[in-house]
Amino acid sequence: MKIVIASSFVPFVKGGGRYIVEWLEQKLLEYGHQVEKFYLPFDDHHSRLLDNLLSYRLLRVGDQADRLIAIRPPAHSLQHPNKVVWFIHHLRGYYDLANTEHSSIPNTGMGRAVAAALRRHDTESLLEARAIFTNSTVVQNRLKTYNALSSEVLYPPLFDSASYYCGDPSDEIITVCRVENHKRQDLLVRAMKHVRTPVKLRICGASSNPSYVKLLHDLVRKNSLQERVAMESGWIAEERKIDLVSNCLASAYAPLDEDSYGYPTLEAAAARKPTLTTWDAGGTLEFVRDGENGLITEPTPEAIAVGFDRMFADRKRTAAMGDLAYDTVVAKNITWDHVIDRLLA
Q: What is the pLDDT of residue 17?
A: 79
Residues 6+ apart with CB under 8 A from 275: 250, 251, 252, 253, 264, 265, 268, 269, 284, 287, 288, 293, 294, 295, 325
Q: What is the pLDDT of residue 235?
A: 87
Give yes or no for a cis peptide into 74 (omega within 30° of 0): yes
CA dist., res. 265 & res. 262, Å (int):
6
| Percent of the chain whose predicted confidence (pLDDT) is above 90 | 85
Same domain, 276 and 207: yes
**Domain count across the chain:** 2
**What confidence tier does 19 reach under pLDDT thresholds 50, 70, 90?**
confident
Asked if pLDDT for residue 10 goes beyond 80, the answer is no
Return mean pLDDT, the chain. Answer: 94
CA dist., res. 35 & res. 235, Å (int):
28
Q: What is the pLDDT of residue 18?
A: 85
Q: How many CB atoms lie within 10 A of CB 330?
A: 10
Same domain, 206 and 234: yes
Residue 339 in any domain: the answer is no
Residue 344 in any domain: the answer is no
Asked if pLDDT for residue 65 goes beyond 70, the answer is yes
Across the range 277-290, mean pLDDT stands at 96
Residue 121 in any domain: the answer is yes
CA dist., res. 68 & res. 59, Å (int):
13
Domain boundary (139, 154, 169) is at 154
CATH number at residue 110: 3.40.50
Same domain, 45 and 78: yes
Same domain, 251 and 112: no
Residue 340 in any domain: the answer is no
CA dist., res. 304 & res. 299, Å (int):
7
CA dist., res. 87 & res. 190, Å (int):
34
Same domain, 50 and 146: yes
In residues, how long is the chain? Answer: 345
Asked if pLDDT for residue 59 goes beyond 90, the answer is no
Asked if pLDDT for residue 12 goes beyond 80, the answer is no
Residue 341 in any domain: the answer is no
Residue 337 in any domain: the answer is no
Q: What is the pLDDT of residue 144?
A: 97
DSSP strand pairing (83-87 vs 131-134): parallel
**What confidence tier does 98 reach under pLDDT thresholds 50, 70, 90?**
confident
Same domain, 138 and 168: no
Asked if pLDDT for residue 197 goes beyond 80, the answer is yes
Q: What is the pLDDT of residue 131?
A: 98
**What confidence tier does 302 reach under pLDDT thresholds 50, 70, 90?**
very high
Across the range 267-296, mean pLDDT stands at 97
Three-state secondary structure call for residue 311: helix
Side-chain half-sphere CA neighbours of 181 within 13 A: 6
**What confidence tier does 91 reach under pLDDT thresholds 50, 70, 90?**
very high
CA dist., res. 101 & res. 318, Å (int):
37
Domain boundary (99, 121, 154) is at 154
Same domain, 113 and 231: no
Residue 111 in any domain: the answer is yes
Same domain, 39 and 149: yes
CA dist., res. 127 & res. 183, Å (int):
32
Three-state secondary structure call for residue 9: strand
220-266 pLDDT, tens per residue? 999 999 999 999 988 889 999 999 999 999 999 999 999 999 999 99
Residue 200 in any domain: the answer is yes
Domain boundary (135, 154, 173) is at 154
Q: What is the pLDDT of residue 61?
A: 80
Q: What is the pLDDT of residue 14?
A: 67
Are the C-beta atoms of residues 70 and 7 closer than 8 Å to each other?
Answer: yes
| Percent of the chain whose predicted confidence (pLDDT) is above 70 | 99
Q: Which domain holds residue 118?
A: 2-154
Amino acid at 111: G
Q: What is the pLDDT of residue 11?
A: 73
CATH number at residue 166: 3.40.50.2000
The closest alpha carbon to 26, from 60, 3, 9, belongs to 3
Are the C-beta atoms of residues 95 and 49 closer than 8 Å to each other?
Answer: no
Q: What is the pLDDT of residue 16?
A: 72
CA dist., res. 181 & res. 92, Å (int):
16
Asked if pLDDT for residue 115 goes beyond 70, the answer is yes
Same domain, 166 and 292: yes
Same domain, 18 and 147: yes
Asked if pLDDT for residue 13 goes beyond 70, the answer is no
Same domain, 139 and 219: no
First to last CA, the chain: 12
Same domain, 124 and 244: no
Asked if pLDDT for residue 60 goes beyond 70, the answer is yes
Across the range 21-49, mean pLDDT stands at 93
**What confidence tier does 143 reach under pLDDT thresholds 50, 70, 90?**
very high
Query: Which range (15-24, 160-169, 203-212) has the least confidence?
Result: 15-24
